[in-house]
Amino acid sequence: MSQEIILTGITPSGTPHLGNYVGAIRPSIANSKRDNVACFYFLSDYHALIKNQDPERLKQSTREIAATWIALGLDTNKAIFYRQSDIHEIPELTWILTCMTAKGLMNRAHAYKAKVADNEEKRSKDQDKGITMGLFCYPILMAADILMFRANKIPVGKDQIQHIEMARDIAARFNHTYGDLLTLPEPLVDEDSAILKGLDGRKMSKSYNNTIPLFGPEKQLRKMIMKIKTDSSEPGEPKTTENNTLFDIYRAFAQPEQVEEIRKRYAEGIAWGEMKQIVFECINEHLAEPRKYYHELLEHPGDIEDILTQGAAKARAISKPFLDTIRKAVGLVPIQ
């Protein structure tokens, strides 16, 4: 089999939380340590522009998310870690792919359809109200990210599978028209990668407002963990670990032996207050070092910038010659 090329974009929006760490950052860093894989991880700041038109917020989020990945141990000598907007070949490929994309395909994109449905529900005169071409064409930009580096495995959440299928469709049409240059990507859906629950027991997500920030101060971490919803069972009353938010969060951070120990303590009726303290200590221990490193990085933004600049140079060493090949294939060549 050909080499695995794993690629994923991280949209710089908001501040990273424990759910991002467990669901995306940790497995991505683990993947980057495997042999025989090439990993491309990038900050999808062009994608961020679709939703965020506040330059300060974009800058800050980009800085924080870059620092987060570095602080958590991404080996930027092994994985190619870069900022999407540093790769000037991406928007160029996006246009070439746009000319290979049926408008009808984009009409079917979930994010766009949801907005239209929303407008219809509100009985808006214009069903495209508030929808930019950025939002509409978002899957084409994403296809360019993927196809540029001939990535074959794309780790995504279920909501993004459709976008990978669209990238395949677009690539297939390109290959049919111009010759077999593009690699068709596949989604890599990690079924057992933990979906961390939030304060209220639903999936931890910015949109539910139930997140615990990854690198907030220790005090805040403790306070948030104390807020996690529990039932009214008393200390000494046996408790079930099934569907228990505190237990699930603990399991995402603790060693298997520790988890078994706590399972026994549940049966014996551990008090919720004590369990919360245990969860806090476990997570805090896990995050103390990276948190320190994270804050050091934010104090030296030049170090973050250097890492991203080096990443961009490595990425462009691939994207430049590949885009040249593509330009030639479509007939964008000097007159001879």
Half-sphere exposure of 163 (CA within 13 A, CB side): 27
Given 5, 8, 276, 287, the residue binding ligand TRP (CB under 6 A): 8
100 or 151: whose CB is closer to ligand TRP?
151
Quote the CA–CA distance of 311 and 318 in Å, as a whole number. 11
User: Applying CB under 6 A, which part among 92-100, 140-148, 279-287, 299-307 lies near ligand TRP?
Assistant: 140-148
Minimum gap (Å) between residue 17 Cβ and ligand TRP: 14
Site for ligand TRP in 144-183 (CB under 6 A): 145-146, 154, 156, 160
CA 7 vs CA 22, 37, 117, 155, 327: distances in Å = 18, 10, 31, 7, 23
Residue of minimal Cβ distance to ligand TRP = 9
**CB 195 → ligand TRP: shortest distance, Å?**
15
Work out how close the CB of 146 gets to ligand TRP at its nearest, in angstroms, rounded to a whole number. Answer: 5
Residue 142 within binding range of ligand TRP, rule CB under 6 A: yes
Residues 30-59 that bind ligand TRP (CB under 6 A): 44, 47
Please count the residues of this chain forming the interface with ligand TRP, following the rule CB under 6 A. 12
- Report, in Å, the least distance between residue 304 CB and ligand TRP: 20
- Our finding on whether 76 is near ligand TRP (CB under 6 A) is no
Answer yes or no whether residue 89 interacts with ligand TRP by CB under 6 A.
no
- Cβ distance to ligand TRP smaller for residue 14 or 213: 14
Give residues in contact with ligand TRP (CB under 6 A).
Answer: 7-9, 11, 44, 47, 142, 145-146, 154, 156, 160
